[in-house]
Amino acid sequence: MHRRRFLTSMGLGLTGVAALGALSACDNNEDGDGAAGESTPSAPSGSSSPGRSGVIVVGAGISGLAAARYLAGKGKDVLLLEARNRIGGRIWTSEQWAGVPVDLGASWIHGTDKNPITDLANKAGARMVTTDSESATDYLANGHQADDAAEQAIQRWRKATAQALATNQDKNEDQKDTSVRSVVERALNWPTLSNDDKSLVSFALNDYEHEYAGSVNDMSALYFDSDKKINGKDVLFPGGYHQITDLLAKGLTVRTEHVVQQIDWDSGGVTVTTDKGAFQGDHVVVTLPLGVLQSGTVKFGPGLPADKQAAIGKLGMGVLNKCYLRFPKVFWADTDWLMCVPNLDKYGQWEQWINGNRAVGQPVLLGFNAADFGRTIEGWSDAQIVAGAMGTLKTIYGGNIPQPTDFQITRWASDPYARGSYSFNKVGSTPAMRDQLAARIGDRVHFAGEATQRDSFATVHGAYLSGIRAAEEIAG
């Protein structure tokens, strides 16, 4: 999730906020800020025996931290088990460049109005910088900046693409689903288009891949945008997103480098088995990413209900990867975004860049690659990825631009504790499947994580709210 130009420019999104009722769920303590003071969960809940936790939370990403923080605020004894050597999960601020923190996972709060993450950011005193999807310079495949005529053509095809999808959603009475690409190609009579126009339609399609991380070949034309947008600005954190997860984690008991392998339950309680031993509790909150659930690497002793298994199998786990390039000086346009229309045979390659000079005052460019191409380059060496990025930049700014002095590259699909970047609605899935993913099993086994949040999947605030929901199931 990183920009919404295709929605804002079409006037098709950013409207009502159906989730606002749910957002107040973050008011879980007296301050109403989602962070239950500085309290360490001191007193174990009555039902817990020594060496046994009231609640075991699997995963210390934002959803697990939100659940644990909420429950600790209610006096519950909570233990977080985390496979990595750090908290945050898909919120991951790298400190590799001294004084220049960079976010390798989530960067933005999408829509600051009545967003629980905005409240947490204020509480943390985190500086926020607005980026504007309309502040963009568009470049054509030959490297030239789009002139007025080209700009109009870009906008025309963007609008036609959005319109084709909206019409399909409005008129599709039998609810027969197919992919975003096939709907658009059919509506725009693809075979009759010139190669230039096909490039511009593809450029428009790639926006959806960057937003939802799935391939447009797999993304459900009926449900791809079934999430509810939140009004307000898109802001990022020059000091890093970790400020939010650090605030939530204060005083909580987190056992890092504990890889959960199996989760068992019966009427007496839950047992969570890790590579470092087993832990007993009264309840478990499972926040494993959809990609991890799909991989089957964590076993569920008594098995999962059939509808939950179907949801795991049918929802999609997408990919959005980042490549930060650090340069000795700025040589690029002074807009928030640099957008590059590639040739047709280079679909999805290095199309979207954010200007770190505007966002964080550094000579840094951040290139994004989503979906199929984002997945493909995970198999490339760092040098190949940097060379690919530089190829696009040289086409635009000339062969004399400086080489980057350093880079940072993500490979989220290959990450065994994420197995992708965030979930999307794949052909064959329905929004109701997210409710099935979220559904508790009996009174002991609870589920959270971005993929379980029907109205705000794929976001930090959605993941946060899912953690609060699961915690409320336990705390009542």
Interacting residues toward ligand FAD by CB under 6 A: 1-2, 58-64, 81-84, 89-91, 105-108, 110, 259-260, 287-289, 292, 298, 320, 322, 410, 412, 417-418, 421-422, 449-450, 458-460, 463
Q: What is the DSSP string of 171-233?
A: H-TT----BHHHHHHHHTTGGGS-HHHHHHHHHHHHHHHHHH-S-TTTBBTTTTT-SPPPPS-
- Beta bridge partners, 302, equal none
Q: How far is the CB of 25 from ligand FAD (least distance, A)?
A: 16
Is 209 annotated for ligand binding? no
Residue 86 is classified by DSSP as S
Is 368 annotated for ligand binding? yes
244 or 396: CB nearest ligand FAD: 244
Q: How far is the CB of 18 from ligand FAD (least distance, A)?
A: 17
Do 252 and 41 touch, CB atoms closer than 8 A?
Answer: yes
Residue 125 is classified by DSSP as T
Do 38 and 441 touch, CB atoms closer than 8 A?
Answer: no
Helix (H, G, I), strand (E, B) or coil at 328: coil
Is 203 annotated for ligand binding? no
For residues 161 and 286, what is the distance between their CA atoms, to the nearest angstrom?
A: 38
Q: Where in 95-175 does DSSP place strands (E)? A: 102-103, 108-110, 129-131, 136-139
105 or 356: CB nearest ligand FAD: 105
For residues 455 and 469, what is the distance between their CA atoms, to the nearest angstrom?
A: 13
Is 63 annotated for ligand binding? yes
For residues 461 and 455, what is the distance between their CA atoms, to the nearest angstrom?
A: 10
155 or 231: CB nearest ligand FAD: 231
61 or 404: CB nearest ligand FAD: 61
Q: How far is the CB of 426 from ligand FAD (least distance, A)?
A: 17
Q: How far is the CB of 320 from ligand FAD (least distance, A)?
A: 5
Count CB neighbours of 113 within 10 A.
12
Q: How far is the CB of 344 from ligand FAD (least distance, A)?
A: 26
Q: How far is the CB of 375 from ligand FAD (least distance, A)?
A: 13
Q: How far is the CB of 284 from ligand FAD (least distance, A)?
A: 12
41 or 59: CB nearest ligand FAD: 59
Sign of the torsion angle spanned by Cα atoms 291, 293, 294, 295: positive
Count CB neighbours of 40 within 10 A.
10
For residues 121 and 287, what is the distance between their CA atoms, to the nearest angstrom?
A: 22
Report how far apart, in Å, the C-alpha atoms of 223 and of each of 220, 228, 315, 431, 454 are.
5, 12, 11, 7, 11
60 or 437: CB nearest ligand FAD: 60
165 or 244: CB nearest ligand FAD: 244
Is 55 annotated for ligand binding? no
Q: HEC profile for 372-409?
A: HHHHHHHHCCHHHHHHHHHHHHHHHHCCCCCCCCEEEE
Q: How far is the CB of 69 from ligand FAD (least distance, A)?
A: 12
110 or 454: CB nearest ligand FAD: 110
For residues 10 and 184, what is the distance between their CA atoms, to the nearest angstrom?
A: 15
Q: What are the binding residues?
A: 63, 82-83, 260, 368
Q: What are the binding residues for substrate?
A: 368
Q: What are the binding residues for FAD?
A: 63, 82-83, 260
